[in-house]
């Protein structure tokens, strides 16, 4: 069974379009995250939700909007896509919002904006 | 501010060699947590280890070992008798005492193990 899953795995779209990435975890975790990995492999947190409540909102353009319908799901919607949004987006989950918990990552979604 | 530095961008070794990946961190928190993750060519991120700031015992897991030294703010990772399957990007990460779980990642070290 996949612990943290993301769909789609690959996403190719044109500038200006709106797209969503879905994430689901079956680990029973309370906290979920979105990270962005750029072309140089640098990983940076974007958002975090704990029990469906937003607890981390880094300096991310407001074209990015996370939504957590329940504890097991955290989706990422991106409006008006730009070339610079091309990256790999990782969803992750952990047992709680404390740093003591390790995070388990999904397989990533490679977004290419043309 | 919290920061993780992995000064080695790329390391290339021949199979069966030992290799150490360096990680230096900065934080003002007295309680913090350090992690290592592996990203193989397939792209997923695999959790390897978590270390608490108040536990400086070194850890060994098979061919992997970790050396945590608060005095030098370092959390180094050694692979003994490296294998081709160890080829990956390795990330060191830090989480502080805030109740957010925010992970600060280093830049990553690409390890290539040649047969």
What are phi and psi for residue B45, nearest 5 degrees? -105, 125
State whether A104 and B47 contact (CB < 8 Å).
Answer: yes
Give the DSSP letter of residue B103: P
Contact: A45, B98; criterion CB under 8 Å: no
* Yes or no, beta carbons of B101 and A107 under 8 Å apart: no
Please tell me if residue A84 touches chain B, with a CB cutoff of 8 Å: no
For residues A61 and A98, the model is more confident at A61
Q: How many residues does chain B have?
A: 115
Rounded to 5 degrees, φ, ψ at A20 are -130, 145
Q: Is the pLDDT of residue A26 over 80?
A: yes
Q: What pLDDT does A1 receive?
A: 65
pLDDT tens-digit series, residues B12-44: 999 999 999 999 999 999 999 999 999 999 999
By the 8 A CB rule, do A110 and A12 touch?
A: no
In this predicted structure, the answer to whether residue B79 has a pLDDT above a threshold of 70 is yes
Binned at pLDDT 50, 70 and 90, residue A99 comes out as: confident
Q: For the ranges A27-36, B7-16, B53-62, B84-93, which has the lowest average pLDDT?
A: B53-62
**3-class DSSP assignment, residue B63:** coil
| A-chain residues near B33 (CB < 8 A) | 99-100
| B52 with A88: Cβ contact below 8 A | no
pLDDT (tens digit, 9 = 90+) per residue, A34-46? 999 999 999 999 9
Closest chain A residue by Cα to residue B100:
A97
Asked if the Cβ–Cβ distance from A99 to B96 is below 8 Å, we say yes
Per-residue pLDDT reduced to its tens digit, A30-78? 999 999 999 999 999 999 999 888 988 887 899 999 999 999 999 999 9
- Any chain A CB within 8 A of the CB of B97? yes
Give the integer Cα–Cα distance in Å for A13 and A15: 7
């Amino acid at each position: 069974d996949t612990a943290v899953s993301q769909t789609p795995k690959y996403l190719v779209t044109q500038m200006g379009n709106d797209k969503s990435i879905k994430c689901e975890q079956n680990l029973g975790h309370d906290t979920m995250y979105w990270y962005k990995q750029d072309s140089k492999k640098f990983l940076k947190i974007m958002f975090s939700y704990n029990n469906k409540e937003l607890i981390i909102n880094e300096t991310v353009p407001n074209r990015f909007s996370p939504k957590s319908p329940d504890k097991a799901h955290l989706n990422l919607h991106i409006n008006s896509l730009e070339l610079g949004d091309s990256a790999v987006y990782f969803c992750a989950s952990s047992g709680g919002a404390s740093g003591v918990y390790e995070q388990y990552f999904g397989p990533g979604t490679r977004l290419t904006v043309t | 501010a919290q920061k993780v530095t992995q000064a080695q961008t790329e390391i290339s070794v021949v199979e069966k060699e030992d290799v150490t990946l360096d990680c230096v961190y900065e934080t003002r928190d007295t309680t913090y947590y350090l992690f290592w993750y592996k990203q193989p060519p397939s792209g997923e991120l695999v959790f390897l280890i978590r270390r608490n700031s108040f536990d400086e015992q070194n850890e060994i897991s098979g061919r992997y070992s970790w050396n945590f030294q608060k005095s030098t703010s370092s959390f180094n990772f050694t692979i003994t008798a490296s294998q081709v399957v160890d080829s990956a990007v390795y990330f060191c990460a830090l989480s502080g005492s805030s109740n957010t779980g925010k992970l600060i990642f280093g830049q990553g070290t690409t390890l290539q193990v040649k047969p």
